[in-house]
Structure 1
Amino acid sequence: MAEARVHIFLVKRWLLLLAIALLSVAWQEPTTGALPDTLRKYRAADQLTEWIYTQLQWPAATPLEKAAILKQATTHIWRLPKTAEEVQAWQDLLINQGYTLLLSGDIVSSTDAYQQAFEWARQHLSTTDESLVLEYILKPLGNNYTRLGDYEQALFIHQKALALANSLQDQSALAGTYSNLTNTAGNMGQLEQARLYCQEGLKVADKKSALYGLLLSEQADVCEKLSQHDIAKSSIRESIRILRQQPAGDQEAAHWLFMAYQQAGDIYLSTPITAKQYYQEALHYMRRKQVVRKREQAKLYQRLGQLYVALEEPQHALSWLDSCARILLPGKDFRQLKEEDMYGEYTLLDMLFARAAAYNQLQQPDAALQAYRLCFATEHKLRSQFISASAKEMAVSDSRSRYEMAIETAYNCWLKTRQTSYQQVILQFMENSKSQLLWEEMLQQAQYHTGDSTLKRIRLLEQAQIYYRKEALQNGGGDSLLKVRQQRVAWDLATLRKKMPVMANDTLSVGHLTKLLPDKHVIRSYFAGTTGLYSIELDKQGIRFTNRLAITTQWHDSLLYFRQHYFENGAQAMINTPKAYYDAAYRIYAQLFRQQPLQTGNTYMLMPDGVLSTIPLEALVTDSVYPAAIGKWPFLVKQATIAYAYSLRTWQAQLSGDTNKKGFSGFFIARQQHGLAALQGVEAEKELMAPVISNGRWFPDAQATVASFRQALTESAIVHISTHAFLKQDSMQAPHIAFYDAPFYLFELNALPRHPAMVVLSACGTADGRLVTGEGVQSLAHAFMAIGTPAVVAALWNVNDATTPQLMQTFYKTLSTTANAAAALQQAKLSWLKDPAVTDMHKLPYYWAALGYQGNTQALQAGVLPARGNYWYWLLLLLGIPVFILLKKISNNRHI
């Protein structure tokens, strides 16, 4: 026991000395030539501990050189550590590698190194000191995830640190962890929670300490975001006062003061002169104290550049932005930078965006467009490092304003020059701004069939994650052990996914896309910004229409009102005031289509954006003159066939892929279990569909189990579902489809080895869901497309019990004779509008326009759904031939 205590003491001493040495390091010129000889000597003697610590203590001129030495050590090790000293030495190596990489500006590699250190510590608990793990692994790892914007992972790490700090009863560590939690929650937009974390930290921190000053600066940041400007200003001033009083040798306090000056500049940006004074204070302090953190210096230069952009002094701005670029991209000539030179760093992203703005002020739009391209390449690489879906969604949403500026620049260039190259730039920016996460998910699903061992392991962990999530939903989420298991699986998944290659943000080829278009198909894509709605149309010959519609916040609000008032809230508003609906529908049509009307006979792949994704465009009217008879209204559905897609890339992905080739499976649950209301139109829907589908498998009520549904998804070309679906604002925590025996959760779709060519969701609101800026509606249809389903028919609102059975009957009947499945759905709607048996009121679009077609219009191959009537025709023909021959013989005999 005494020897063990001595060992632990020595381990602590080693690690603390190394960490302190790194925190106060003054980089030295290395002694060249001696290191390899020394390392060979230790390797020959199999002295692994000495071999590791020699490289840790070896001097280097810069953090980058030191990081290179330590990186070599991790790749040149000749065996795994065995003894306790070797295990600890290896952990020290990983920790120091993470730190030197952070100092050198490579935050992604730094995060990977700290993550490896964390995993190593978890695997060797007997030789790991918790206080050192807290200070030198969890703290920097969580902060790195925060810097990268992956806030859920950061929160996971900081909460582990909080539990550890509580168990150690370390007040300073508690205050520091609350500081980290404040920063993370604030970045996640959870401002009230961030304020509470900060208050807890201020309670336990020493009021004269540098940490107290840091917490005050974080309080200032939260209050500024909460529009509590006076509190923010007083907090940042008090923070600066306290941090100024810290001892001269406290480098951490010096760093926090340096950052507090910059934060004060941000808070006072509405008064540029005061902001400039604070930024200048930070600049003077940096030069006087020789702050060595290059990343923070670069951030200050970027802020000064952004300030001068706001002051419309672009030359001054570029001077500061050049200083920032020299740190972030050493040795690079900005005029020759390529997208491959970019890496995941927020300051680099902000610098490039500010640079584009400066070039625009200088009337140099081509230079601005190149800066935007580099900005978006940086953004793509940053997002690829995120693990949680919410972090990725936030990154996509945050990028929208940047894309709008870039698209506006390219559009203005096109207006001036009419060069088609600028139209292609507009299309590229529009495409890169839309549904990137869905596209990446579709590509990832396609990769799962390659047999890669890492992918197999990811698939196994995803299945475990599905199991744990279902268990948590069933027990109400109260099982703490289950939560730990979920977190562990999520962590392992994150680690493995980081090993997968980053998907390239490829340049969109208009020529290649147009070759993929079937005959008489046209694409129209939209980008809905805050001030402009951009649209581009292309056919087999290329881009043939480009337009910008000036819009305001009121335009967005009017579309939301149109949808909610006339569709979400039921049919009554449309029934009571049909002309008001007609006029509103025509106004929207005129904005979207009047300059370039849809041509009769064409199929249009519409790719709406933002709130447009929630509008049933087929229900718009094409003429301002109001006919009294609703059946005579000039609905857009009468003008052309319409299908929808999230983006060009997702549509392209839906054109390929291995799907089930034949078969139909239908699930019809009229009488529900678990207290759910009965569905009146489901039985009628099945009865009307059955005569027109010859090769179907039918699963009514009790036969419609989760197991049979899962089997159908892997075997049938068409899967039809008519039951309750729960997507948002429901009692259950997770979106799901209600089958007779149990719910099927959307996250279970990820575990499927194969998928249908088409899924028809005639349940209520299956195309509705949470609208994510830049990603579109996160609906049940979206989930099926994410796993690679080429085509989905789904409903934007509650389908009508009387209408849906007849629409589905006509749809499937037409589907057996046409290759264009979207045209089959259009025909079903047109038949409803033409049917004299349908009352005029029921021809209002509320009753027939809910179902929309999304994806590949040619998804079904010939023979997937042969019509039942054809069999009887051929049978009668075959039976008629011998009868005809017999009658002919009788006739001939009579003549004889």
Structure 2
Amino acid sequence: MIERALAAGAYSLTVTEDLLDVETSLTVGDQTTTVHDPIERHGKQIVYLNLPAPATIRLEVSSTDHRSKVGVAQIEFARWSRTADAAQSQSEQGDSRYSAALVAQSQEHDALSSAAALALHEAADHYRRAGDRHAERLVNYIRGRYAYLVSSDWQAAEKFARAAKDLANQSNDAVAAARADVLTASARIERANELAGPDVKAERAKLLDSSNSLLVASTKIFADARLPIDQVAALTFQGVGQWAAQNADEARATFVAAVAIARASNDAFSEARALGNLAWLDYERADIRSAADEYSRLLDLIEKERQPDLYASTLGNYANCLTMLGDFDRPLQLHTEALRLFVSRGDDALRAKALLSIGDLLLRMGSTRRALETLETSLPILRVLKDQTGIDSALASAGRAAGALGDHERALSFHQELLDRNRGPRMNALARVLMAGDLRELKKYGRAASELKLALAGATELTRANALVESGKLGLARRELRAAADDLLAADRLYADLGLDFPRIAANTALARVRLTAGDRNETLAAADKAIELIRLVRMQSASAELRANFIADQYAPYEIKIQAQLSESTAVGSWNALLTAESVRARLLKEWTTRPVAAQQAEYSETERLLDQLSAQQVRLESQLQTVRATDSQSLRLRRDIVETRARFDALSQRPDDSAKLLAGGVEPKFSLADIQAQLDARAAILYFFVGEESSIAWRITAHDLRQFKLPGRAVLAAATEHLADSLERPSAAAGQKKSFGADNAAIRQLGLLAEDLEPGRLFVFPDGPLNSLPFVALSTKPSSRDTALWLDRFTVSYAPSLALAMQSRRSTKATTHQLVAVVADPIYAADDSRLATSLANNASSGASLRGSTAERFVRLPYSAIEAAAVASAFQSSQVISLTGFDADVARVSRLPFDQLAVLHVATHAIARPDSPGLSALYLSKYLPDGSGTPKNSISSDEIVRMGMRGDLVVLSACSTGDGSKLSGEGVLGLTHSLLSNGSGEVVASLWPVQDSLTAQLMSQFYQSFGESNDAAAALQNAQRQVRDSIGLSSAPVWASFIVRANRLK
């Protein structure tokens, strides 16, 4: 900063740039004037000052260039020598108007200030009258720059550039003339890009040819003058023009040359501009790997605090490239980093773009509902901001998400709007391909074919490949199988040529389905195996467990097709191979976690925990808020947006610190034989193993002597049947009580019950899939019409298991445990009016009809859980029992339990299962301390269970819906039970739905009495369920049928 005392008079304070962009601020008294100019690194800034009296001025010149750039700014103080009443000279008037223009435009950001335009016109006239060609040229050049950069008035930019060139030629200033030519050429390129259609083809070519000639000549002048900054700028525009003229190879070579010159000159700003264009070119040419590498280098050059818009767009482009190449971990981290930056800056525009990118990424990862929620959160902001590109992207992705969720009419509306908004060939073709898919799903095949025909006419290579995949699917729907196969093979070749593995999964999956429909078993297997091979290449190591499991479930289709092809062999070998294929995608996330070192499981991530707490609080607030206001209320929308952002930040942090635990998306071939399985089964034991497909499902039944398979309905039918059985148990009819059967009016329930019809009473190990994870198999009946008991409860000891491979592994590695400690967590303090609080005025404890689950803000005391805790403790020696009840049942004490020494961990509290966000499913503990103050936190989520290593040989979750969660194909149920099994718990007893406090306490008392005698959780639960049913009657069905045993072993 320069501080100087000036006498009264008129001054021109001039700052001339040399290889550096700067901004000038002048302060006189309490008034500060700030100016900058539109010329990169060789501009001139003038602040005209007329002091009526002596004053002290402060002049500050600061760099607005890249922080690594070094240059010079020459400062000149010039006092106009004249008497106070004398007229201003033309030159002084020129400086005055030039200064006024810079001041006016510096206060205007989005348009050309009319005051600035007028002042520049007047300045040019004054300089002309003064005969100052240099100053007149500079003003005309600036007028052209403003017309180009701010007004997008290409013809005006070219007019002022020509005027500046004429003046430069009169002064024999070749460099200034070349700079004017660069401006002229850039304006002509923009004019050419606005011309479309055959009628203007010649005019467009003429504009591009002339601009290229100007830029070639200018580049040589700059090179001869050793001006690399100008040389890089000219080359960059030359590359843009060559690409516009469809000379892709020439354009790429030009951009590469520009990057090299900028790097050799240590000019990060110029390198970033040239590299950004090179990356854009490679992306448009579908050279995605090169584009990803270039965007990665570009991110290192951009100063995100100074260039947030450029940083956001570059980051989004880079992440999109990585995603197309099948890498999801880095994009998630990048988008989340950007979101945090934009939120801290209060930048809604870039915040919306970051949300849009995260939504698109979630969609690719298979987390479809979350993707649609995130995209719908960003879309209203984008509309308000009139971000046309962002709106287009959000519409395309939201339509894909809606279609994936089965709402094809809604998807079509998104994509129709996308088409209506765009006339450009690239986006137009994309919209038509998307619409064709929607129309196919709606069985409007003729319209779909028409849209595809129009799309292919103007598609890029990548969009053409996408169109061919859709054409193949349409051919399958129309049973035009040969044409469908040809289209899909062509699409796969095109993707392979482009170096894109991820979209090849869909192409080969669709091809496998075509081959299966055609009855070609070998070709079906070949195509399905290719899709599976590609899935296995996809890296999914950094996203949260929930996102990884969603991605795996989303790639289930090729395995389903392969299973159908293997079963078509109609032999025992084919049936067993099909089961092995099903097992290869079974519980992959659980297998990953159970093989991790305990130290890694127990690693603490304070930021992750903080985000979890924040997210839980936001979820509870939203749940409470929606009780009284609509989901579209502004406060609700804001809270939903906050939840989306917090979840995105949590996902990016939920990564494991070691590379040894990388999860490949594809399954691992099981290493055991049918004989190995059968050797573990006695004569009265059997396995029921399920694979739930979209159109049909399969059940395998394994006994010690045989293997049988049964065909079942598809996912939707089985999901409806599961809900129907749960409803019939909650509201059992008198007829059901007489027949001692439930849900028998549902064909799928009857079909499932008959799977065990000819089995002798004994033990059943059930390996459910998808919606069957929520089916209470003990409530099935083998003979629905018989008056004799036919319930599985009375015939079989039933336990659930996620994976045969895990069960076999546990069987081989199981050792006799010496754990003897029993921990009981029960009856926490939830309410301020709890009688146990010292500040309580009255005992307002709830009645025995309370459920062990509600909303977190409405939890009431569970009085019977205290009785239950006493019954549990009485079943064991007192020296072995650690009892945490009342105030002691808090997060701090529970987290300090010796989990690695526990034979039994019993938890009787409230719980909330969140199928939409299973990582936030939680056990709720004491909310208050003895002095009436609140505990720091009162919940332990399923993700926190994993990190703290919570486990036991037997874990009993005596709370509502603790066995519920997100039911994913192959993986099982993500939630509390999954986390406990992941930590190595032997068995987990949990409930499938909300349960009544008093009846649950009775069931648990019976359970522990039996468990103490048998040390067999499944048998003890069966005995307790029978006793409660027989003693209470029909009304007890919702409780006894709700509890199940899940285990990682055959026991």
TM-score (norm 1): 0.69
Distance 1:181 1:8 in 2: 31
- Residues 816 and 343 of structure 1, relative CA distance in 2, 3 Å threshold: farther
Correspondence 1:380-529 to 2 at 5 A = 380-382=536-538, 384=540, 387-388=543-544, 391-392=547-548, 394-400=550-556, 403-414=559-570, 418=571, 420-432=572-584, 434-443=586-595, 446-447=596-597, 449=599, 459-460=603-604, 462-471=605-614, 473=616, 490-491=651-652, 493=654, 501-503=662-664, 505-511=667-673, 514=676, 518-520=680-682, 521-529=685-693
- Residues 221 and 777 of structure 1, relative CA distance in 2, 3 Å threshold: closer
- Equivalent residue number for residue 227 of structure 2: none
Match of 1:305 among 463, 472, 475: 472
Report the structure number with the largest CA radius of gyration: 2
Between 607-616 and 262-271, report the one with greater CA deviation. Answer: 262-271
- Residues 139 and 399 of structure 1, relative CA distance in 2, 3 Å threshold: closer
Match of 1:374 among 527, 530, 536: 530
Match of 1:740 among 915, 919, 926: 926
- Residues 297 and 546 of structure 1, relative CA distance in 2, 3 Å threshold: same
Distance 1:598 1:367 in 2: 38
Q: Structure 1 regions of 5+ residues with no counterpart?
A: 25-49, 74-80, 244-253, 332-341, 860-896
- Residues 545 and 733 of structure 1, relative CA distance in 2, 3 Å threshold: closer
- Equivalent residue number for residue 720 of structure 2: 557
- Equivalent residue number for residue 846 of structure 1: 1038
Letter in 2 for 1:582: S
Q: Would the aligned equivalents of 1:537 and 1:545 in 2 still touch at CA under 8 Å? A: yes
Distance 2:383 2:471 in 1: 31
Match of 1:279 among 452, 471, 481: 452
- Equivalent residue number for residue 47 of structure 1: none
- Equivalent residue number for residue 227 of structure 1: 409
What's the offset of the Cα at 1:618?
Answer: 1.2
Q: Would the aligned equivalents of 1:736 and 1:743 in 2 still touch at CA under 8 Å? A: yes
Match of 2:987 among 774, 785, 791: 791
- Equivalent residue number for residue 358 of structure 1: 514
Higher helix share: 1
Q: Would the aligned equivalents of 1:585 and 1:619 in 2 still touch at CA under 8 Å? A: no
Higher strand share: 2
| 2:721 is equivalent to residue 721 of structure 1 | no
Write out per-residue CA displacement over residues 475-527 of structure 1, whole angstroms, 9 at most, x where no aligned residue: 86999999989866654555968896343621123418935974425321112
Q: Would the aligned equivalents of 2:339 and 2:645 in 1 still touch at CA under 8 Å? A: no
- Residues 407 and 108 of structure 1, relative CA distance in 2, 3 Å threshold: farther
Q: Would the aligned equivalents of 1:685 and 1:805 in 2 still touch at CA under 8 Å? A: yes
Q: Would the aligned equivalents of 1:155 and 1:184 in 2 still touch at CA under 8 Å? A: no
Letter in 1 for 2:883: W
What's the offset of the Cα at 1:643?
Answer: 0.6
Write out per-residue CA displacement over residues 301-330 of structure 1, whole angstroms, 9 at most, x where no aligned residue: 333333333333333333333322333335
What's the offset of the Cα at 1:760?
Answer: 1.0
| 2:306 is equivalent to residue 135 of structure 1 | no
What's the offset of the Cα at 1:711?
Answer: 2.4
Match of 1:704 among 876, 889, 896: 889
What's the offset of the Cα at 1:356?
Answer: 1.1
Between 215-224 and 298-307, report the one with greater CA deviation. Answer: 215-224
Matched position secondary structure for 2:863: coil
Q: Would the aligned equivalents of 1:668 and 1:721 in 2 still touch at CA under 8 Å? A: yes
Letter in 2 for 1:352: N
Match of 2:955 among 734, 743, 759: 759
Letter in 2 for 1:703: D
TM-score (norm 2): 0.60
Distance 2:1037 2:537 in 1: 44
Distance 2:697 2:309 in 1: 55
| RMSD (Å) for aligned C-alpha atoms | 5.7
What's the offset of the Cα at 1:202?
Answer: 6.3
Q: Would the aligned equivalents of 1:11 and 1:88 in 2 still touch at CA under 8 Å? A: no
Residue identity over aligned pairs, in percent, reads: 16
- Residues 323 and 162 of structure 1, relative CA distance in 2, 3 Å threshold: farther
- Equivalent residue number for residue 496 of structure 2: 329
Letter in 1 for 2:1047: G
Matched position secondary structure for 1:582: coil
Distance 2:398 2:1000 in 1: 55
- Residues 760 and 308 of structure 1, relative CA distance in 2, 3 Å threshold: same
Matched position secondary structure for 2:802: coil
Question: Number of matched residues?
Answer: 758
Correspondence 1:37-186 to 2 at 5 A = 85=266, 114=295, 118=299, 120=300, 129-141=307-319, 145=323, 156=336
| 2:797 is equivalent to residue 644 of structure 1 | no
Match of 2:427 among 256, 263, 270: 256
Distance 2:392 2:940 in 1: 51
Matched position secondary structure for 2:519: coil
| 2:592 is equivalent to residue 592 of structure 1 | no
What's the offset of the Cα at 1:792?
Answer: 0.3
- Residues 846 and 192 of structure 1, relative CA distance in 2, 3 Å threshold: closer
Letter in 2 for 1:374: K
Distance 1:816 1:213 in 2: 64
Distance 1:624 1:186 in 2: 43
What's the offset of the Cα at 1:852?
Answer: 1.4
Letter in 1 for 2:698: Y
Q: Would the aligned equivalents of 2:864 and 2:998 in 1 still touch at CA under 8 Å? A: yes
| 2:824 is equivalent to residue 666 of structure 1 | yes
What's the offset of the Cα at 1:698?
Answer: 2.2
Letter in 1 for 2:470: R
Matched position secondary structure for 2:783: coil
Matched position secondary structure for 1:387: coil
What's the offset of the Cα at 1:644?
Answer: 0.3
Q: Would the aligned equivalents of 2:921 and 2:965 in 1 still touch at CA under 8 Å? A: no
What's the offset of the Cα at 1:650?
Answer: 4.8
- Equivalent residue number for residue 532 of structure 1: 696
Distance 2:917 2:314 in 1: 43
Distance 2:466 2:401 in 1: 20
What's the offset of the Cα at 1:182?
Answer: 8.7
Distance 2:275 2:660 in 1: 18
Q: Would the aligned equivalents of 1:95 and 1:137 in 2 still touch at CA under 8 Å? A: no
- Equivalent residue number for residue 487 of structure 2: 320
- Residues 400 and 565 of structure 1, relative CA distance in 2, 3 Å threshold: farther
- Equivalent residue number for residue 683 of structure 1: 866
- Residues 852 and 215 of structure 1, relative CA distance in 2, 3 Å threshold: closer
Write out per-residue CA displacement over residues 560-619 of structure 1, whole angstroms, 9 at most, x where no aligned residue: 12203423xxxx545796247725359666412425437446432101223322222112
Write out per-residue CA displacement over residues 377-431 of structure 1, whole angstroms, 9 at most, x where no aligned residue: 33344472672556545544544555444433333332xxx2x332133213433
| 2:917 is equivalent to residue 750 of structure 1 | no
Match of 2:765 among 600, 605, 608: 605
What's the offset of the Cα at 1:720?
Answer: 1.0
- Equivalent residue number for residue 336 of structure 1: none
Matched position secondary structure for 2:673: helix
- Equivalent residue number for residue 502 of structure 2: 345
- Equivalent residue number for residue 146 of structure 2: none
